[in-house]
């Protein structure tokens, strides 16, 4: 009976996550070790090796990560259905979401949300779920970005200028972010909407060690791999689901796309092509937010 309940809970959690993180995927995604290839493609400078631990019937993934100090860092994590957990968390793996999810290729119109989807979004965004849900496991990211503690990650931060605004980011995303900027500036010579977007930028905020509001989980801003592009004015439009919820407590998830502030389509496309996901495609939308998650872009393009 205990095993059956655990399996049902896992399937429900997977459905909720797919409905909320991805605006288009409805299926339960495969969680097998074959998905390790997306991590290998996304982080080519990291060596991934694996061995099987029969004592827990799972794969051990050993990461060899080159560090800026010239030495390698080594981390070992269990596959755990794609959550990548330390051995101490294996028994709680049903509490964690797989790192890979179907990041949408297109922005879905909320007018087409089914009743099932609306209920899943309500559950996912509820105070109870946000406080109690473990969510995405951070162990893999802490290994890659040396971000288990504030003092460790701050050794890897660099100051950059992005589209004329200052930002503090993790050194690992300095180059992909620079490629985004180079492409946007080149394209802005021919795009008036892009020139207006750049001109109206107020800030590009990145590193900020903090817990996500209403949860017990760290933000990806704490790793310096997320960037919020804030405009001087939102022109009366909504930009973030949490703020929209204060104004539209029961219908915020159905807010029409034309009533949401968005970067130009060229901005989103270029960010994605350089390994960043855009929070505007999440059902719990965060339209200012870009996050370096190349494994999700690789998985999306499978």
| Per-residue model confidence as pLDDT tens digits over 11-70 | 334 444 444 454 434 345 668 999 999 999 999 999 999 999 999 999 999 999 998 878
Q: How far apart are CA 287 and CA 266, in angstroms?
A: 14
Q: What integer pLDDT is reported at residue 5 of this predicted model?
A: 36
Q: How far apart are CA 143 and CA 132, in angstroms?
A: 24
In tens, the pLDDT along 251-295 reads 999 999 999 999 999 999 999 999 999 999 998 999 999 999 999
Closest CA to 187 of 269, 276, 260: 269
Q: What integer pLDDT is reported at residue 214 of this predicted model?
A: 66
Q: In terms of DSSP bridges, do strands 157-162 and 96-97 run parallel, antiparallel, or are they unpaired? A: unpaired
Helix (H) or strand (E) holding 45: none
Closest CA to 181 of 229, 148, 140: 229
Per-residue confidence at 97, pLDDT binned at 50, 70, 90?
confident
The two most distant CA atoms of the chain are separated, in Å, by 64
Instruction: Give the DSSP letter of residue 236.
Output: T
- If DSSP codes are grouped into helix, strand and coil, which group holds residue 194? helix
Q: How far apart are CA 93 and CA 56, in angstroms?
A: 12
In tens, the pLDDT along 138-176 reads 999 999 999 999 999 999 999 999 999 999 999 999 999
Angle (CA) 21 24 30, round 5°: 75
Answer for the pair 21, 8: CB distance below 8 angstroms, yes or no.
no
- What are the Cα distances from residue 179, in Å, to 175, 292, 293? 6, 13, 15
Using the predicted structure, report yes or no on whether residue 134 has a pLDDT greater than 90: no
Residue 242 bridge partners (DSSP): none
The total of other beta-carbon atoms located within 10 Å of residue 221's CB is 19
Q: How many H helices and E strands in the chain?
A: 11, 11
pTM, two decimals, is 0.89
What tokens appear for 188 in the block? 């802005």
Closest CA to 61 of 41, 83, 84: 84
């Amino acid at each position: 009976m205990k095993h059956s309940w655990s399996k049902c809970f896992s399937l429900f959690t997977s459905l909720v996550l797919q409905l909320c993180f991805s605006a288009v995927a409805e299926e339960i995604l495969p969680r097998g070790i074959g998905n390790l290839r997306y991590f290998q493609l996304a982080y080519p400078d990291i060596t991934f090796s694996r061995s099987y631990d029969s004592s827990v019937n799972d794969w051990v993934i050993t990461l060899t990560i080159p560090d800026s100090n010239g030495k390698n860092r080594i981390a070992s994590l269990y596959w755990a259905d794609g959550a990548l957990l330390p051995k101490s968390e294996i028994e709680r793996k049903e509490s964690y979401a797989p790192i890979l999810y179907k990041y949408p290729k297109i922005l879905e119109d909320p007018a087409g949300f089914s009743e099932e989807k609306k209920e899943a979004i309500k559950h996912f965004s509820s105070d109870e779920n946000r406080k109690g849900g473990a969510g995405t496991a951070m162990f893999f990211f802490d290994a890659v970005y040396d971000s288990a503690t504030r003092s460790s990650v701050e050794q890897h931060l660099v100051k950059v200028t992005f589209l004329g605004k200052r930002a503090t980011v993790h050194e690992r995303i300095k180059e992909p972010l620079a490629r985004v900027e180079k492409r946007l500036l080149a394209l802005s010579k021919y795009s008036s909407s892009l020139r207006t977007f750049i001109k109206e930028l107020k800030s590009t905020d990145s590193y900020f060690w903090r817990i996500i509001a209403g949860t017990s989980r760290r933000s990806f801003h704490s790793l310096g791999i997320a960037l919020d592009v804030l405009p001087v004015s939102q022109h009366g439009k909504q930009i973030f689901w949490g703020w929209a919820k204060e104004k539209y407590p029961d219908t915020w998830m159905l807010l029409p796309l034309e009533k949401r502030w968005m970067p130009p389509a060229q901005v989103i496309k270029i960010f994605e092509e350089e390994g960043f996901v855009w929070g505007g495609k999440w059902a719990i939308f965060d339209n200012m937010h870009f996050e370096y998650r190349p494994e999700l872009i690789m998985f999306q393009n499978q």
